[in-house]
Structure 1
Amino acid sequence: MYARSLVAVFLLLVCSSICTAWQAGPSPIGKRIESFALDNCYGKPVAMSDFDDRELIAVVFLGTECPLAKLYGRRLAQLQTKYAEQGVTIIGINSNKHDSMTELLAYQNRFDIPFPMLKDVGNRVADVFGASRTPEVFLLDRQRVIRYHGRIDDQYGVGYSREAPMRNDLAIAIDELLAGKDISSARTDVVGCHIGRVKPIEPSGEITFTKHIAPILNARCVSCHREGEIAPFTLTSYKDVMGWEDTIIEVIDENRMPPWFANPEHGRFANDARLSERERELIVTWIDNGMPEGDAADLPEPPQFVAGWKIPEPDQVIQMRKEPFTVPAQGVVDYQRFVVDPGWDEDKYIVATEARPQNVAVVHHILAFVIPPGKKDVDLEQVLAGYAPGSLPVVCPDGVAVHVKAGSKLLFELHYTPNGTEQTDLSYVGVCFTEKEKVQKPLIGRIAVNTKFQIPAHDDDYEVRAKYKVQEDEALLSMTPHMHLRGKAFRYEARFPNGEREVLLDIPRYDFNWQLKYVLAEPKKLPRGTVVECTAWYDNSGSNLSNPDPGREVGWGDQSWDEMMIGFMETVPTAE
């Protein structure tokens, strides 16, 4: 039954890449805030003293493009409605230099914000509070003294997302203050994007955006960070980058962007997304020098992205279902699976496939599996098509095709991530066929899989192994490790018939949110008798913030709170 609902998530939350955790510094707790005045999104001045009749004021710093600020927009609106009659007011402040009044107004309208949204030009109010992230909360008492500082709740964090908050920190702090009690947890970690501050650095130096930085962004970033794609902000122009420099530096320094987790000591990969040391050095130096724009004549031509199919015009387009699926505004959406009959009454030989989201704003991955005729479960070795932001379609070399038997059905598996507003999606897959006579070799999926394991509760380094033995000489093309929320590390190792061993792929820091396919730069010959051994390590302890229940023994299961252990591979026979 496990095959029916295989989970293979390429991307869970974009905020796992650009949202980061605030590091503890001097505590603002106990600091009194004098009244300030800022313009609201309609251009009208609003002062904190306008709310002198309010018992409590929650000042929340927000950004219009920060993924967490989008997810929490409506939740803040609900909190304002809940506590308004008890004398509580929320004030939203935007201190980002790159967010305009128009964008601030759009944010307020999009999330039905009932409280004032103010523009902090020059980030002077953010400096008074010591705010550094969005969203970041400062709860003021009747004397306008900061009594709580931190997050709204703990539902979202760096690399994890819960179905619901375990602790509603801001609401608890409000309740305790209103009841005259001390706040039980007055300071919590803040997770979010850096505030895009105005900085007193005069641009200088020879490294410029137009000549040095734009080419790097074009090659590494804008496939996702452009208009209409899933990334939360664009990086297609000099203006786009302004305000995101601190976030860019942080995610590069922590090796979270571009997403790539292979140990460079083992193997070479055609789709290696890492920045080179020279590229890192250029970006860091440019930011340190105040980000000079440079000569417009040096600006490279922008990359061209195909608007339609990347494969040849498909012979057949298959929708995931008849009616669109509704994606809620927030929360965690379980993996959606839809069985489709493509009407294949004869064997098909497929040379190209492309999975395409109808709504790129909320689709994080698509997988289409083959269900063999007469079977209920998918064939784990036949993943017909897959999509993740920035991914490429499957195009077989000349003479190579995927063989699918007559009567087969398809299982669409989709992973959605809410972005703050309700959305709909009707994704689809395009396929190109060829005649049997033109096929010389099949493209074959292989797996090393272990379904018989039990990870003990609280174990932070549990090991599980699985093997695949090569029956006939073949060439390995790619590898895709797969685990769930407790996945910690993964390794592929080949044991050749002559006794030699080789690490094919090593993932020392596995990330459930970014499950990638690792495509070899050159096919690896695997002689008959070779054993590919996959080893997976799991962290079922409380130190794993993604862990839904450290006290539970965990075995194989369909959902993300269960576990899986699969080493996917793609091969072709070396013989005709």
Structure 2
Amino acid sequence: MKFFVAWMMVLALATVGNASEEPEESPVGRTIDNFELQDYRGKAVKLDDFRDSKAVVVIFLGTECPLAKLYAPRLCALAAEYESQGVAFLGINANVQDSITEVGAYARIHEIKFPLLKDSGNRVADAMGAIRTPEAFLLDGQRRVRYWGRIDDQYGVGYARDNPQRQDLKEAIDQLLAGKPITLPEAEATGCHIGRIRQPDPNAKVTYSQQISRLLQKRCVECHRPGEIAPFALTDYEEVVGWAETIAETVEENRMPPWHASPKHGDFINDRRLSKEEKQLIYDWVAAGAPQGDPTQLPEPLEYTTGWQLPREPDYVVAMRPAPYSVPAEGKIRYQYFTVNPGFTEDKWVTAAEVAPGNRAVVHHILVFVKTPSTRLSEEGGFLAAYVPGLREKPYLPGMAKKIPAGAQLYFQVHYTPIGSPQQDLSKIALVFCKPEEVEYEVKTASVSTRNILIPPEDGNYVAEATSGSLGEDALLLSYMPHMHLRGKSFRYETRPREGDSQILLDVPEYDFNWQTSYRLREPMTLQAGTQIYCQASYDNSKRNLSNPDPQATVRWGAQTDDEMLFGYFDYAIKVPGPETNKATPEMLRYARSIIMQLDRNRDGRVSRKEVPRQHMSTFERLDVNRDNQLTLEEMLTP
């Protein structure tokens, strides 16, 4: 559909600018003086060159701002549409961090035919009162500003619609050409701050070289470096200084680094939150003009592993399909599904798995499932691995592994998001195996789920809940990953022990579909046999939810992002039986018989596949060792 998290990492950064950047008064009604700038080829272009045009649209753009990339095709279409009506388009790049070469590349990639100029020193941006990219100024024949703001309302902070509900710039052009008043002369632009030339305080205590570079290395550079998921790098001063205002803005609003779990519950090893002291360093640095400081104080650059991020070379690598998948420049793309037969003739024990997108710019997320010959695919079982924005997969703990049964297939679910130019993707998965005798604990991914979702129109707080089956044995809880779609509002995990009080495991008060975070416990948590996991999710189907594709729709369970889901994935580990545990105890025998009595509806002394609830299907698969779709008492007691 629309979201791409790499651009959401910036778009999430972009909302109302700091007061210091706001113009003293609205530019609407102001006459713009003639200016002269050079385009990326070195050709001088003046505003007066368009004196015969009925109107001029001046658009401020940035080469790395994801929103400026998304809107490039639309601006080209608007320019072509209105050229015959005497309307000229003029693009300006005022970002200090964007070079002439990068401006030229942006123009070529997006096939921009109108002039694209470089505003070195922000002279024109300051004179016109421009704040963000993309940001439009509509000038009439006397070069007065008649409209100022966004292009339309399709994209915003944390949301992206299938189509715009209001085409602000287009409507303003039509009204101007028709000689009518502009009904909405201002519509606040959403995007990235223009990277301006700054006047740093020479006596500042906080500098890039001393504190900020180290903070970015610790918290940001893992994603914000060349070739990674973030849309721009934060590895050198010349680049970082252009994003200073945007960095401070997103940090202040707790949108970067992305982390949505309440600190009241759980201790997570991948917690990305900044401390109060770290935040204050950023605020002080930006307030002081983002000084560079003494470059000799810079830390040594971090070295990162290139290629697969696994603990060793993978034992098995496979692509999702033989040839790349083509992603269009624009439009809505439904989930794509690809099946791969790895040809495993024996069970494989996986100690580490990594899903690598072939094109991070357009891959929103990938889920890979294991499908055995006797089962149909279900997102409620068989989960193997994932790629989601910001997720860094780690190997399982020593002695732990996940099993892929012999004869199983791998099933890729891929969500693509267009970025304004045609792209291709060929994503892959890599696996690291171990020997069966090295496995002490089998890692399983289960899910708490329900399809009982029916959200009424305009319901801003619809609540759904689900409870897992009871654990048949003691287990170690490892991680959680809540999953909903665009109307997801909050998500909570709780234990339901056989005896004792419930405990909140994870609380996500502000769920964000753009960040499918896996919350990994710092230390495994012991769950007693008989424990259930309870999940409660809330949904916002009202107009207040800007991500909502249709507040008037009745929303049901479904696989696409304009449907809804409730999946509370969790990883847990169970002890692999050894020779000393092969003999069934009387307690195990009683428990196995009670399970059969509960599920055996036709009273034939065994449990068939049709008698097993969906949430227990993965357990049935593990116990049905002879693959006859029948579960006997003997199989239940077989280690």
**TM-score normalised by structure 2 residue count:** 0.85
Given the superposition, is the C-alpha separation of residues 552 and 379 from structure 1 closer, same or farther in structure 2, using an over 3 Å criterion?
closer
Counterpart mapping for 1:308-323 below 5 A: 308-311=307-310, 312-323=312-323
Match of 2:28 in 1: 29
Match of 1:362 in 2: 362
How far the C-alpha of 1:393 sits from its partner, in A, is 3.0
Match of 1:408 in 2: 408
Match of 2:598 in 1: none
Measured in 1, the distance between the counterparts of 2:169 and 2:37 equals: 24
How far the C-alpha of 1:573 sits from its partner, in A, is 2.0
SS at match of 1:18: coil
Counterpart mapping for 1:72-151 below 5 A: 72-151=71-150
Measured in 2, the distance between the counterparts of 1:231 and 1:546 equals: 21
The percent identity for this pair of structures is: 48
1:204 and 1:290 in contact (8 A); partners too: no
Matched, 1:560 2:555: no
Structure 1 residues 298-348: Cα deviation after superposition (integer angstroms, max 9, x where no partner): 222222211122222222211100110011223343222111111123322
| Matched residue type, 1:520 | L
Match of 1:4 in 2: none
Measured in 2, the distance between the counterparts of 1:204 and 1:357 equals: 45
1:321 and 1:338 in contact (8 A); partners too: yes
Match of 2:253 in 1: 254
| Matched residue type, 1:532 | I
Flag the structure with more relative contact order, 1 or 2, with Cα contacts below 8 A and sequence separation at least 6: 1
Structure 1 residues 355-408: Cα deviation after superposition (integer angstroms, max 9, x where no partner): 112223322322211112222323533321212344333422332221222221
| Matched residue type, 1:378 | S
Match of 2:519 in 1: 518
2:198 and 2:290 in contact (8 A); partners too: no
2:6 and 2:229 in contact (8 A); partners too: no
Structure 1 residues 33-81: Cα deviation after superposition (integer angstroms, max 9, x where no partner): 2222222222332211111100010111111111111111222122111
Structure 1 residues 390-449: Cα deviation after superposition (integer angstroms, max 9, x where no partner): 433342233222122222111111222323321111111111223323322210112111
Measured in 2, the distance between the counterparts of 1:210 and 1:537 equals: 44
Counterpart mapping for 1:156-167 below 5 A: 156-167=155-166
| Matched residue type, 1:18 | L
Structure 1 residues 527-556: Cα deviation after superposition (integer angstroms, max 9, x where no partner): 123232111010000111111111111111
Matched, 1:350 2:345: no
Match of 1:335 in 2: 335
Match of 2:493 in 1: 492
Counterpart mapping for 1:78-477 below 5 A: 78-311=77-310, 312-378=312-378, 380-468=380-468, 469-477=470-478
| Matched residue type, 1:236 | T
Structure 1 residues 447-467: Cα deviation after superposition (integer angstroms, max 9, x where no partner): 111111211110101111111
| Matched residue type, 1:346 | E
| Matched residue type, 1:79 | L
2:488 and 2:538 in contact (8 A); partners too: yes
Match of 1:3 in 2: none
How far the C-alpha of 1:87 sits from its partner, in A, is 0.3
Name the stretch that deviates more: 361-370 or 535-544. Answer: 361-370
Unaligned runs of 5+ in 2: 578-639
Structure 1 residues 119-147: Cα deviation after superposition (integer angstroms, max 9, x where no partner): 22222222222111000011111222211
Name the stretch that deviates more: 177-186 or 56-65. Answer: 177-186
SS at match of 1:97: coil
1:475 and 1:526 in contact (8 A); partners too: yes
Unaligned runs of 5+ in 1: 1-7
1:210 and 1:293 in contact (8 A); partners too: yes
Measured in 1, the distance between the counterparts of 2:530 and 2:537 equals: 22
SS at match of 1:212: helix
SS at match of 1:242: helix
| Matched residue type, 1:51 | F
How far the C-alpha of 1:22 sits from its partner, in A, is 6.0
1:173 and 1:186 in contact (8 A); partners too: yes
2:90 and 2:114 in contact (8 A); partners too: yes
Measured in 1, the distance between the counterparts of 2:379 and 2:48 equals: 65
Structure 1 residues 207-245: Cα deviation after superposition (integer angstroms, max 9, x where no partner): 222221111111211111111223121101111201111
Match of 2:15 in 1: 20
Measured in 2, the distance between the counterparts of 1:11 and 1:360 equals: 8
| Matched residue type, 2:338 | F
**TM-score normalised by structure 1 residue count:** 0.94
2:446 and 2:570 in contact (8 A); partners too: yes
Measured in 2, the distance between the counterparts of 1:11 and 1:571 equals: 30
SS at match of 1:373: coil
2:325 and 2:425 in contact (8 A); partners too: yes
Measured in 1, the distance between the counterparts of 2:536 and 2:284 equals: 40
Match of 2:528 in 1: 527
2:6 and 2:231 in contact (8 A); partners too: no
How far the C-alpha of 1:10 sits from its partner, in A, is 7.5
| Matched residue type, 1:200 | Q
| Matched residue type, 2:393 | P
SS at match of 2:248: helix
Name the stretch that deviates more: 546-555 or 375-384. Answer: 375-384
How far the C-alpha of 1:21 sits from its partner, in A, is 4.8
Q: Please provide the CA RMSD for this pair.
A: 2.1
Given the superposition, is the C-alpha separation of residues 379 and 229 from structure 1 closer, same or farther in structure 2, using an over 3 Å criterion?
closer
How far the C-alpha of 1:574 sits from its partner, in A, is 5.6
Measured in 2, the distance between the counterparts of 1:11 and 1:230 equals: 5
Given the superposition, is the C-alpha separation of residues 233 and 21 from structure 1 closer, same or farther in structure 2, using an over 3 Å criterion?
same
Measured in 1, the distance between the counterparts of 2:302 and 2:330 equals: 33
1:58 and 1:91 in contact (8 A); partners too: yes
How many residue pairs match? The answer is 569
1:370 and 1:379 in contact (8 A); partners too: no
1:15 and 1:158 in contact (8 A); partners too: no
2:4 and 2:417 in contact (8 A); partners too: no
How far the C-alpha of 1:476 sits from its partner, in A, is 0.8
2:17 and 2:193 in contact (8 A); partners too: no
